[in-house]
Amino acid sequence: MQPNTFSMQEIIRQNYDEAIEREEEGGSAETPFVFTIPKGTPIPGHLILINEYLARFSLQPSRAMSLKELNRSLDEFYDKNAIKETPGDWIDGHPYEDALDEGLDETWMAK
């Protein structure tokens, strides 16, 4: 999980381009989706938001749980809170010129 940073833009655009190329070559490609979690969304007590590096985050269990329980918890969280978009829709709604440098924590945290 990342805010709209230059590296997030590159990841989305590269993966989207690869999916389109696979499809054009006759390969099967599932439609990828981008999940946006709105600022201020509360994190359930059984999950914790980890800042892995610069502007990269992940949701992890805050207590011991099985992989099945973790997957169910994440599915519930995303189903309830995420805005689910195709990469094309995400790119349209998040122009590259609006992206921020992931090293500028105070700037992207304020958005």
Residue at 58 is within a domain: yes
Confidence of residue 65 (pLDDT cuts 50, 70, 90): very high
Residue at 39 is within a domain: yes
Q: Which domain holds residue 54?
A: 6-95
Residue at 83 is within a domain: yes
Q: Can you tell me the mean pLDDT for 51-58?
A: 82
Q: Can you tell me the mean pLDDT for 59-83?
A: 96
The count of structural domains within the chain is: 1
Residue at 41 is within a domain: yes
**Cα Rg for the chain, rounded, in angstroms?**
16
Whether the Cβ atoms of residue 1 and residue 59 lie closer than 8 Å to each other: yes
- Is the pLDDT at 89 greater than 90? The verdict is yes
Confidence of residue 80 (pLDDT cuts 50, 70, 90): very high
Residue at 100 is within a domain: no
- Is the pLDDT at 106 greater than 80? The verdict is no
